[in-house]
Amino acid sequence: MEALPDDDVLWARALHFQHDDGSPALCGVSLGVREGEILAIGGPRGSGKTTLLRCLSGLVPVRRGEVWFNSVPVHTMGPLTRERLRRDRFGWIDPAPSLVPELNAWENTALPLMLRGTSRRRAKTAALEWLERLDIGDSARKRPHQLVQAERQRVCIARALAPAPSVLFADEPTAPLHRADRAHVLRTLTTAARSHRITVVLATHDAETAALADRTVSLLDGRRVQTVHLPPVAETSEPEGRAACSLSV
C-alpha cells in the first residue's frame, strides 16, 4: 500500500461514487490537502464537487476508494464513528442556510460547541464574537424567520467557524450572498481559517472565490481535469479547446 503523505491532513485515493439511480458522480478522484491549506474544488454544476466534499467529510460512506484524516481511515468507519468525527473535528457550510427555527442567531451559532460539551456561557461568548466578525452581531437575538437569507447564511458560517474545526468543508458558501457581501464574508472566512490553522475544502464554480484559495483542483463529470491550451489547428482538425483529463494528482 502506498504510504500516506506526512504533510496531508486529508487524503483520498481513487474515489468512486454512484448516485442512487446508478449514474456516476466520482470516477477515480485522488487528492491530498495539507494542514492549514485552503483548497478550492472547482468545476461547473454537476461536476461532482458536492459529492466529493460529502465523501471526504464522511457524510456519505465511500463505495470504492479510500479517505484518510490524520492517518485514520474514514472509509472503514461505521456511521456512529463518522458522526462523532464530523461533530468533533469537522465543520460544514451548505450553499443554502439551514438553521434551527426555535433558536435565535447566537444559539444556532453556539449549538455545535454545546454539543461538544462546552458550557453555555463559553459557547455564547464564542458565538457572539463570530457573529460580530461577520457583521451580524446586532441580530444575535433574532430567530431565523426574522433574518433575510444573506443574514441567515452569515449565521451558518459563524456556526461552522465557532468550534474551530480541524477541517471546514464549504459547499458554495457564498451562493446566497450579494456580490458586495460575498467579498467581505470570503475575506472573513479565509482570514479566520489562516489565523486558526483551519484546513478548508471549498467547492465553488466562481473563479473569484477560487482565487482566494492556495490551490485549486478542477472536476468535470466526476473526474479531475487539467486544462491544456492547444495551439491553433486547421479547420479540418478536431475543435480547439479540448481538455486533457487526469484521474489523480
Average pLDDT for 56-69: 93
Of the candidates 82, 43, 69, 64, the one whose C-alpha atom is nearest the C-alpha of residue 202 is: 43
143-163 burial code (b ≥16 CB/10 A, e <16): bbeebeebbbbbbbbbbbbbb
| Domains of the chain, start order | 35-58+84-225 (3.40.50.300)
Q: Are 88 and 116 in contact (CB under 8 A)?
A: yes
| Cβ neighbour number for residue 123 with a 10 Å cutoff | 23
Least confident of 139-148, 199-208, 237-246: 237-246
Least confident of 95-104, 150-159, 217-226: 217-226
- Summarised one tens digit per residue, pLDDT across range 156-212 is 999 999 999 999 999 998 888 888 788 888 888 888 888 889 999 999 988 888 888
Confidence bin at 19 (pLDDT 50/70/90): confident
DSSP code of residue 2: P
Asked if pLDDT for residue 115 goes beyond 50, the answer is yes
Predicted pLDDT at 45: 87
Predicted pLDDT at 226: 66
Predicted pLDDT at 6: 61
